[in-house]
Structure formats: structure tokens, C-alpha cells
Amino acid sequence: MTTDTELADELVDAVRTFVTKEVLPVASEFEHADAYPEALVEQMKTMGLFGVTIPAEYGGLGLDIVTYARIVEEIAFGWMSLTGILNTHFITATLIANHGTEEQKKRWLSRMTTGELRGCLSLSEPDAGSDTRSLRFKASPDGDEYILDGTKMWVTNGERAGLVTLAARTPEGITCFMVEKEPGPIFGGISVSRTIPKLGYKGLETVEMSYSGHRVPADAVLGGPDTLGRGLPLILGALELGRINIAARACGVARAAFEAAISYSQQREAFGVPIAKHQAIQFKLADMATKLEAARLLTQSAARKKEAGERCDVEAGMAKLFASETAFECAIEAMRVHGGYGYTTELPVERYYRDAPLMLIGEGTNEIQRLVIARQIGL
Ligand SMILES: Cc1cc2nc3c(=O)[nH]c(=O)nc-3n(C[C@H](O)[C@H](O)[C@H](O)COP(=O)(O)OP(=O)(O)OC[C@H]3O[C@@H](n4cnc5c(N)ncnc54)[C@H](O)[C@@H]3O)c2cc1C
């Protein structure tokens, strides 16, 4: 896809302004209340952010993945949770755009572009996270329908989404379904059986969802009958985009922590000088700046490769691994720089410290990323 760079730059600038004016003033308040930011999401819809990478023929902006990553970084700088609202939406949209039938693209993509229809991802199960081959969720064929039975865990956006990317076992193997539902706690045989309480990443729901005899038409199989039993590689391919999202949001959180640390270190005085004059503090800030720059370059490099249509599990994995570890380090270092004030809930540094660890785990833990990288280097 060729990107209109002027449009991309304008949109990134508009997102930065949106974050400064609308997100930063309210992020901590919403986060502490664990309240869904309805008004912010509506503004994101108006700005076209739910259609950033969706092709223009379906009403999207048709921008590239590098631009998407830049936007995700800007939003995460303000509040990481908002990037989680976009992540599974774009994993779903990308799967449909790349592997859906023409009919499926027409049915879903234009409604996804506006954010009227939002996507979520149901891969993980209570007993199967990293080990995706042990998924147990069943889709049993019955005439021209499938009957869905099982439990899915950790479904971010599960309640508010209207389209679920669902990995389920059919007689052929693991198949990728696109399950339409009404937003809300119950629809047909689908119910939100639990809302999972979290350390951070608040304001958006992560839920357990149970399916009991829920029927879907056979054309809910992504890509039609040819892809029966081939769902796992399709979903894992789309998770590369998810890892780029995590890497980009990690850059945003790392930058927020870094900027907070710089600013505080120039104001706070100890032993007669701003603490920024102490070399121990300067070393922390220098390391943060260096790692943030490296994390961003890795993220952009993975995004460029994904955009070129190549598999990039190693590059996306390296970016996700490095950027998330950087975000975690920057969050704790920023807290140290703030001294006791960093430990209060009055400053956003504590939020970065609670949000950052999710990125070590989500979209494949960093241990799993290291396994993928080790395999690639021949181990
Ligand atoms: C807030 C949140 C939101 C999420 N949102 C979604 C979502 O929207 N959709 C979705 O499908 N999933 C989602 N997930 C699930 C997430 O992807 C999984 O938690 C993650 O893949 C790890 O799986 P697990 O939790 O089952 O851990 P496990 O797989 O049980 O791993 C436990 C530990 O063992 C390690 N481990 C496992 N296997 C190996 C190995 N072979 N070698 C070395 N170490 C290993 C892991 O690295 C980890 O440290 C979310 C998770 C969280 C916390």
C-alpha cells in the first residue's frame, strides 16, 4: 500500500493534539475509576482512527502500518488503554482484508472503518495461552451451520465488540471464525461469564466469554471452506500486527515516563542543585533516551516489513520484546527519579508502572518471543 505521507503526517499531528488536549487531562481520572472513556472513543471514531489501515475501497484511510505504529505511540503516550481499544479491532480487520472472501470484506470492513462495528480477538483459553496447539474450544458442523461450545479467556473488548475473531477446533483442525454478535453481556449462546480485574490497563474490559450451543452460519469461517483447519497460521500472522501495536504502545509509555522524569529532574532540587545535575540521575535519563530511540527504530523496521507483505514474526517479536522491556525499565526508573512522589497516585508515573508489565505478557510473552528469535538464529 502506498501511503499519502502528507495525510499520514497530518493525522499523526492531529492525534498528538487530541492526546494533549483531550486525553492527558482526564486519563488518570478515568483510569483510577476504571471507567470506559466513551467520549474519547467517539472522538477517535470521528477522527477516522478505526479505519486507519483499512483499504480506501471499504471507506478506510488506507494508511500504512508505519503510520499506524506512530499513531499508537502518540495515543499510548496519553493513555495506554486507548491503544488496546484499537489493537484487536485492527487484528480482526487485517484478517478480513487479507484472508476474507469478497463478500466478507463487503459485509464487515466498511462498518469497522467507522468504529460502528468493533473487533475483538478470542484466541486464549483458561488452559491455553502460549501453547496455542492445546486449544480446546469446539465448533461442530451441523448442516450449513456450526455449533460453538467452550470458554475463551482474556477477551479484551469482548463485551463492546460486535465481531469476534475466534479460534475453534473443527474436524479439520483449528479454524478461524468471525462471529457476529450484539455488543453487551449476552447474545444468543454467548455470555460474558466474568470481567477480569486487572492491575492496570483499566477503563476497557478484558473478559472471559462462554459459548453454549451458539450457532453460526458456515460462512462465518474466515475465507470460506478452503481455510478450514488452517486458522492458526492466519491468526498468528495477524498477531504480528498485534506485536507491532504492543511495541508502539511500549514506545509511548516509555516516552511518557522519560519525559516525566526529565521534567521532574529539572525542577526537583537536592543538595543545592536540580537533581538532573547529579550524574547518577543523568545516567538513568541517558539510558532511557537511548533505549527509547532503539525501541522506536525496531518498531518502525518491523512495521515496514509487515507493510511490504512479508512474514515478520522475528522482527515484530524483537520489537515487542525490546520495546516492552524498555517501557518497564523506563517506568521503574522514572519512579525512582521522582522519589517518594513517584509512588503516589497523584502523578501519572504510578500508572506507567502498572501499565508497562502487560506488554511483557500480551501478544505472546517475552519468553515466547525469545524462543521464536532463538529458533530463527538456528538454536
Ligand atoms: C490484560 C490482558 C489482555 C489480554 N487480551 C487478550 C485478547 O484480547 N485476546 C486473547 O486471545 N488473549 C489475550 N490475552 C492473553 C495473553 O495473550 C496471554 O496471557 C499470553 O499469551 C500468555 O498466556 P498465559 O497467560 O496462558 O500464560 P502461559 O502460557 O500459561 O505462560 C505462563 C508462563 O510460562 C511461560 N512459558 C510458557 N511456555 C513456555 C515455553 N515453551 N518456554 C518458556 N516459557 C514458557 C510464559 O512465558 C509465562 O511466563 C490477554 C492477557 C492479558 C493479561
Q: State residue 5's pLDDT score.
A: 87
Phi, psi of 49 (to 5 degrees): -70, -20
Distance 125 CA to ligand 1 centre (A): 10
Q: Identify the CA nearest to 98 among candidates 233, 7, 245, 225.
A: 233
Q: What is the pLDDT at residue 297?
A: 98
Name all residues whose Cβ lies below 6 A of ligand 1: 88, 121-124, 129-131, 154-156, 198, 201, 206, 358, 361-365, 367-368, 371
C-alpha to C-alpha distance for 46 and 33, rounded to whole angstroms: 25
Query: Which mutation among 155, 365, 369, 371 tests ligand 1's pocket best, with the greatest number of atoms within 8 A of CB?
Result: 365
Nearest CA to ligand 1 atom 43: 367
- Ranges of residues in the chain with a pLDDT under 70 are 1-3
DSSP output for 234-297:
HHHHHHHHHHHHHHHHHHHHHHHHHHHHHHHHHH-EETTEEGGGSHHHHHHHHHHHHHHHHHHH
Query: What are residue 68's phi and psi, to 5 degrees?
Result: -55, -45
For the CA atoms of 10, 13, 14, 15, the dihedral, rounded to the nearest 10 degrees, stands at 130
Chain centroid, CA 31 distance in Å: 17
Report pLDDT for 330: 98
Q: Which of 57, 116, 363, 367 is catalytic?
A: 363
- Hey, is 102 helix, strand or coil? helix
- The ligand 1 atom nearest the CA atom of 120: 8
For residue 363, the ligand 1 atom closest to its alpha carbon is 17
Ligand 1 atom index nearest CA of 130: 29
Place of cell 467507522: 114
Q: What is the pLDDT of residue 3?
A: 66
Tell me the three state secondary structure of residue 339. Answer: helix
CA distance 205 to 227: 30
What are the percentages of helix, strand and coil residues in the chain, rounded to 5? 55, 15, 25
Do 198 and 206 touch, CB atoms closer than 8 A? yes
Say how many Å lie between the CA of residue 130 and the centre of ligand 1: 5
Strands 163-170 and 173-180: antiparallel
List, for residues 310-369, the tens digit of each pLDDT value.
889 999 999 999 999 999 999 999 999 999 999 999 999 999 999 999 999 999 999 999
pLDDT of residue 149: 98
Between the CA of 279 and the centroid of ligand 1 the distance, in Å, is 39
Q: What is the pTM of this model?
A: 0.97
Please indicate whether residue 42 is annotated as part of the active site.
Answer: no
Q: What is the pLDDT of residue 244?
A: 97
On whether the CB atoms of residues 3 and 69 are closer than 8 A, the answer is no
Whole-angstrom distance, CA of residue 8 vs CA of residue 2: 11
pLDDT of residue 1: 52
- Asked if residues 78 and 24 have their Cβ atoms less than 8 Å apart, the reply is yes
DSSP character at residue 221: B
Written as nine digits, the cell of 194 is 466474568
User: Would you give the DSSP letter of residue 197?
Assistant: P
Q: How far is CA 205 from CA 26, 66, 107, 128, 358, in A?
A: 18, 27, 26, 20, 14
Nearest atom (ligand 1) to Cα of 371:
42
